[in-house]
């Protein structure tokens, strides 16, 4: 004879059982202890439960019925199999075992950066896809490597014209001498990296590249002889001198033939409007520049002045900033371009979420082997778009040089490539996004906007930017 069940549906020490029809279609009778629990803690069918399996499926072997009612993640109501001889046949077995909680999936890069993220942010001003309060906003990185790869593929066809002609390109750089200070050594290291990138770029087009490495103690006469030899060699179609050379050799660079100066090193004597770095920066800025003001940090330097000149040709409003200026004024611009070549110069005090794009042209090798840009790491996630360091302006410079040399020797009608358009928010839309998401600018204290606040706080900008102090990346 089967043991008799008590009022609460079970023997001492046994799981509680509640009388229930075996098909599970009728709500089982709850005991008093179960009735006192909140509904989400009861192992009973009701609102919010989902059924797994088909009702009425016959059990197989010792397996339980497939009628499983689940209330994640707290409890399970499992109907026992209706096997002959089971004294608890037709009762529901209530178990308190918690179900495993599903792992939260991390957002993909496409959701935290890029055009998809921009659409979500735009919807946040009044749509349903607004970010939760306090959620971080990451800047979309504008890859220069992707642009360079596209340009390499587009210009590869010109190898059939360049290679049979046996044309040459000369790239000169200098090595540090023993006893040189560390800052100069870091500049020479940046020069080496840039020179090797140029060698790869020109070799891809079919040029024979002469990579000339001169000691820092080279005499002025030897340096002048090398430049004169390149000028007279008809096969040499371009000459690039990596800056900075030793100060005593800078005037000798002017001996270079303007027709072979594809990097704009001769200034007003060059056939190029500006250096390749400045040309690439202006192409990055152009898709974002409609109705915008562009702040150029390092505007009086070699690269910065070229950027100013090219953007002025496009009738873009400019805010020049250099040594002695209050760099906090950059926070009031729509676009920021930094050509100062000073590691981590611009902080969250200068970079803001409403900036459509921030172009970081700095490339400062450090003692630990890493490379630093002009933008501080705490400020890098703030703008809507930013060029990374490395991998941003450096590859863009190579793409400009490849286009210039092909136009000079193979196809004078070659059209300049353009930087791909990227979605951005206007200042008003950006402010609405910040209000809706509850985000704030890290490092910014409450009070007057420092962009308009008077005072003697001037960030130091080197008098010469990276083209005079090393290659940009």
* Segments making up each domain of the chain, as ranges: 1-57+64-97, 140-426+457-469
Residue 458's pLDDT band (boundaries 50, 70, 90)?
A: very low
pLDDT at 164 over 80: yes
pLDDT digits (tens, 9 = 90+) for 97-121: 444 444 434 444 333 344 444 444 4
What is the rounded distance in angstroms from the CA atom of residue 465 to the CA atom of residue 459?
A: 15
Q: How many residues can be counted in the chain?
A: 473
pLDDT at 472 over 70: no
- The three-state secondary structure class of 165 is helix
pLDDT of residue 9: 46
What is the rounded distance in angstroms from the CA atom of residue 146 to the CA atom of residue 151?
A: 9
What is the rounded distance in angstroms from the CA atom of residue 411 to the CA atom of residue 63?
A: 77
pLDDT at 194 over 60: yes
State mean pLDDT over 181-204.
93
Beta pairing partners, 356: none
Write out the H or E segment, with its range, that includes residue 372: strand 371-372
Q: What stretches of 72-181 show up as alpha helix (H) in DSSP?
A: 109-112, 115-123, 144-155, 159-165
With contact defined as beta carbons under 8 Å apart, do 24 and 69 qualify?
yes
Please tell me the CATH code under which domain 140-426+457-469 is placed: 3.40.50.10860
How is the beta sheet containing 236-241 ordered, strand by strand?
208-215, 168-175, 236-241
Lookup result for tokens 């707290």: 74
Give the C-alpha distances (Å, rounded to integers) separating 356 from 310, 338, 388, 428, 433. 19, 14, 15, 12, 14
pLDDT of residue 435: 82
State mean pLDDT over 50-70.
43
Q: Provide the token pair at 240.
A: 């690039």
Residue 281: φ, ψ to 5°: -65, -45
Q: Provide the token pair at 306.
A: 């070229």
Task: Name which of 19-33, 54-68, 371-385, 390-404 the model is least confident about.
Answer: 54-68
pTM tops 0.75:
no
């Amino acid at each position: 004879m089967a043991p008799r069940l008590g009022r609460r549906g079970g023997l001492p020490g046994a799981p509680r059982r509640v009388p229930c029809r075996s098909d599970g279609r009728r709500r089982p009778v709850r005991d008093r202890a179960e009735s006192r629990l909140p509904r989400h803690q009861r192992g009973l069918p009701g609102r919010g439960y989902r059924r797994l399996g088909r009702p009425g499926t016959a059990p197989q072997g010792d397996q339980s019925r497939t009628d499983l009612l689940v209330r994640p993640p707290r409890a399970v109501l499992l109907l026992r199999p209706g096997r002959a001889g089971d004294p608890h046949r037709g009762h529901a077995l209530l178990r308190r075992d918690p179900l495993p909680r599903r792992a939260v999936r991390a957002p993909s890069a496409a959701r935290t950066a890029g055009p998809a993220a921009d659409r979500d942010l735009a919807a946040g001003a009044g749509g349903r896809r607004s970010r939760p309060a306090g959620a971080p906003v990451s800047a979309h990185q504008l890859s220069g490597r992707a642009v360079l790869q596209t340009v390499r593929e587009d210009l590869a066809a010109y190898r059939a014209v360049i290679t049979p002609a046996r044309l040459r390109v000369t790239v000169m750089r200098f090595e540090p001498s023993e006893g040189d200070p560390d800052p100069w050594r870091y500049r020479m290291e940046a020069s080496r990296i840039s020179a090797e990138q140029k060698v790869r770029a020109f070799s891809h087009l079919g040029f024979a590249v002469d990579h000339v490495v001169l000691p820092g103690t080279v005499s002025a006469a030897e340096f002048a002889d090398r430049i004169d030899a390149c000028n007279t060699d008809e096969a040499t179609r371009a000459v690039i001198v990596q800056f900075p050379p030793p100060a005593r050799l800078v005037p000798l660079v002017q001996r270079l033939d303007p027709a072979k100066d594809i990097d704009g090193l001769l200034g007003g004597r060059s056939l190029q409007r500006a250096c390749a770095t400045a040309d690439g920066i202006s192409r990055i800025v152009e898709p974002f520049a409609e109705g915008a003001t562009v702040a150029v940090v390092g505007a009086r330097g070699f690269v910065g002045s070229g950027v100013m000149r090219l953007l002025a040709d496009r009738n873009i409003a400019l805010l020049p900033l250099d040594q002695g200026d209050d760099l906090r004024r950059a926070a009031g611009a729509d676009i920021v371009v930094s050509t100062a070549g000073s590691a981590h110069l611009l902080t969250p005090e200068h970079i803001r979420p409403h900036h459509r794009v921030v172009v970081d042209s700095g490339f400062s090798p450090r003692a630990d082997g890493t490379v630093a840009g002009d933008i501080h790491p705490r400020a890098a996630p703030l703008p809507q778009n930013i060029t990374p360091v490395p991998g941003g302006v450096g590859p863009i410079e190579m793409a400009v040089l490849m286009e210039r040399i092909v136009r000079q020797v193979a196809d004078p009608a070659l059209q300049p490539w353009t930087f791909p358009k990227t979605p951005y928010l206007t200042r008003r839309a950006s402010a609405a996004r910040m209000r809706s998401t509850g985000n704030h600018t890290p490092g910014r204290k409450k009070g007057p906007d420092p962009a308009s606040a008077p005072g003697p706080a001037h960030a130091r900008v080197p008098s010469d930017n990276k083209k005079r102090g090393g290659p940009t990346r």
